[in-house]
Amino acid sequence: MIRWLWYLSLLLFAIGVIFYFSWALLYDAWADIGLYSITATLIVFSVLGMLLSRVQ
């Protein structure tokens, strides 16, 4: 029923992972707190969206 939320969450997860690796490779900043904060926000919201889309 709420299948679009699961796809949106999957997209957010992919954006978070791609953003982390692309930024870290581009700027050689693997341990940057700003990078962690943006990536963690995207991944946490994606996981919560996936969990909420499974609730009936």
Residue 54 has pLDDT above 90, yes or no: no
* Closest residue by Cα to residue 17 from 47, 46, 43: 43
Q: Are 37 and 7 in contact (CB under 8 A)?
A: no
Are the C-beta atoms of residues 46 and 16 closer than 8 Å to each other? yes
The string of pLDDT tens digits covering residues 10-39 is 999 999 999 999 999 999 988 989 999 999
Band of pLDDT at residue 3, cut at 50, 70 and 90: confident
Short-list 19, 23, 10, CA closest to 39: 19
CA distance 31 to 14: 20
What pLDDT sits at residue 42? Answer: 96
